[in-house]
Structure 1
């Protein structure tokens, strides 16, 4: 005789069907040879907290599937969360706070489930965290520019190459016949930063506008592990106009190309010379 599910069992099943199983499927599709030992997928304990309609899911990696605990953190307070409300603007701040408060290891994960329904972008956040833990994070840096500024951008690409980075420049990264929008989207997805070269030639339109949108999308997904770096240059008394969507991020107006390059290095989320995230 099958006993009816109680509310807690229904919740755990919903979490497995909505978060854990789709995440495991993504891991198997992207890292098939590593999936058997992948963080959380290979075994974990789960804690569930609630805060003003949001669910916060804490996955503690164990690497053991045979034994698993499902516990509740209960109702969380603003003092614990660090905010009176969770919003799209502060969710990464709350995530960092909760990670620190619970002493989560890189193999663990913290997932947010808003009142309006689960956002699959949280699976991307978890994937990024675990790829970082496994040393699989790309060193790519997307270089966004107007074609007229290609000679300037090539200089930056060459210097980044010499330091061990993998700068994404359309003329090198896109094969003949590549579908432009798809190639751009993959370029951003594979990168840890986007550098925008804002000269008087730069216009926030067409594919350049798409690049701004894609960069903001990656920033939302990756948080501190993706940086938007905007460099503003002047030529013949004219200064490049920063697109409105980029004005919310810090931008620099370097006096020289050398100082501009230093600004890029300071802003990158990766330490120069080695493929590890800064502490």
Structure 2
């Protein structure tokens, strides 16, 4: 593995993390210490940084990548993520480890560093990854079924009665729920009315969308009861909303719209 490429990745990534999270840089994955291994495949350098947390000792080893070991004949912009996931799985990498797939000319360095940052922000818990479930109280049992299903799949839904401890002021608790989340799902039944706490939740969702951009999704699901559809709040109309015919279809719409994905599947 070319040492100059490794040093360049480390140097440039350290600059980014220091600028954004100066108080966390000493504990940050890769920056806190690593061993490195990797090699070249066609016009790409594939580098694996295994987190050690010890800057004093760094070991380096080479890997002979081939079409047979990688499962592809060439690397391009459409299959880099598939390749990255394969390397993670084949080498038993942990969440604090990293895989950088760098073009020989370094032209995709900034993109790779941003992907590293997004991954490590999740690992370090500095960005919200919960899913806020917004609903009218009368629909609690319906929404709880969705919560239980999302948890079973591997997601982390936020439901007010479970997420807030006794004594927490409701408005502040709701606001914190949005801060901790990467998405808000609005269950718009005929009972859903854009007022009181539901009005606040609509406003908070839009605030988080403006702040987190592509890292936050607003997911609006319209449900029918007794031939009557729920009414989408005016402020949510600019965002895509769906009218699922079944709860299973609604779950699929949520999963497709989320900005996150769950990990590999293993035997229990």
TM-score exceeds 0.5: yes
Distance, in Å, in 2 between the alignment partners of 1:202 and 1:190 is 23
Distance, in Å, in 2 between the alignment partners of 1:144 and 1:106 is 35
Match of 1:150 in 2: 140
**SS of equivalent residue, structure 2 residue 172:** helix
Distance, in Å, in 2 between the alignment partners of 1:266 and 1:177 is 36
Distance, in Å, in 2 between the alignment partners of 1:103 and 1:168 is 36
Does structure 1 conserve the Cα–Cα contact (< 8 Å) formed by 2:132 and 2:181? yes
CA offsets per residue over residues 62-93 of structure 1, 9 Å max, x none? xxxxxxxxxxxxxxxxxxxxxxxxxxxxxxxx
**SS of equivalent residue, structure 1 residue 176:** coil
Shift of 1:21: 8.9
Match of 1:253 in 2: 243
Shift of 1:272: 3.6
Distance, in Å, in 1 between the alignment partners of 2:162 and 2:259 is 23
Does structure 2 conserve the Cα–Cα contact (< 8 Å) formed by 1:145 and 1:196? yes
1:169 aligns with 2:159: yes
In 2 relative to 1, CA 244–172 (structure 1 residues): closer, same or farther, beyond 3 Å? same
Match of 2:204 in 1: 214
Shift of 1:103: 4.2
Shift of 1:38: 4.4
**SS of equivalent residue, structure 2 residue 139:** helix
Q: Structure 1 residue runs of 4+, over 3 Å off?
A: 20-25, 105-109, 127-130, 132-139, 272-275
CA offsets per residue over residues 170-211 of structure 1, 9 Å max, x none? 010011110112111111111111100000000001111111
How big is the alpha-carbon RMSD for the aligned residues of Structure 1 and Structure 2?
3.4
TM-score by structure 1 length?
0.55
Does structure 1 conserve the Cα–Cα contact (< 8 Å) formed by 2:122 and 2:129? no
Distance, in Å, in 2 between the alignment partners of 1:154 and 1:238 is 22
Shift of 1:163: 1.1
Uncovered stretches (5+) of structure 1, i.e. residues with no partner: 1-19, 43-100, 110-126
Match of 2:66 in 1: none
**SS of equivalent residue, structure 1 residue 104:** helix
CA offsets per residue over residues 226-262 of structure 1, 9 Å max, x none? 1110000011121111011111010000111111111
Match of 2:110 in 1: 104
In 2 relative to 1, CA 36–107 (structure 1 residues): closer, same or farther, beyond 3 Å? farther
Does structure 2 conserve the Cα–Cα contact (< 8 Å) formed by 1:163 and 1:273? no
In 2 relative to 1, CA 135–168 (structure 1 residues): closer, same or farther, beyond 3 Å? closer
1:195 aligns with 2:185: yes
Shift of 1:22: 8.6
CA offsets per residue over residues 111-136 of structure 1, 9 Å max, x none? xxxxxxxxxxxxxxxx8686147676
| Equivalence map 1:32-111=2 (5 Å) | 35-36=25-26, 38=28, 103-105=109-111, 107=113
1:266 aligns with 2:231: no
**SS of equivalent residue, structure 1 residue 192:** strand
Uncovered stretches (5+) of structure 2, i.e. residues with no partner: 1-16, 33-106
How many residues align structurally? Answer: 178
In 2 relative to 1, CA 108–166 (structure 1 residues): closer, same or farther, beyond 3 Å? closer
| Equivalence map 1:121-136=2 (5 Å) | 131-132=121-122
Distance, in Å, in 2 between the alignment partners of 1:138 and 1:24 is 16
Distance, in Å, in 1 between the alignment partners of 2:264 and 2:131 is 15
Match of 1:140 in 2: 130
**SS of equivalent residue, structure 1 residue 203:** coil
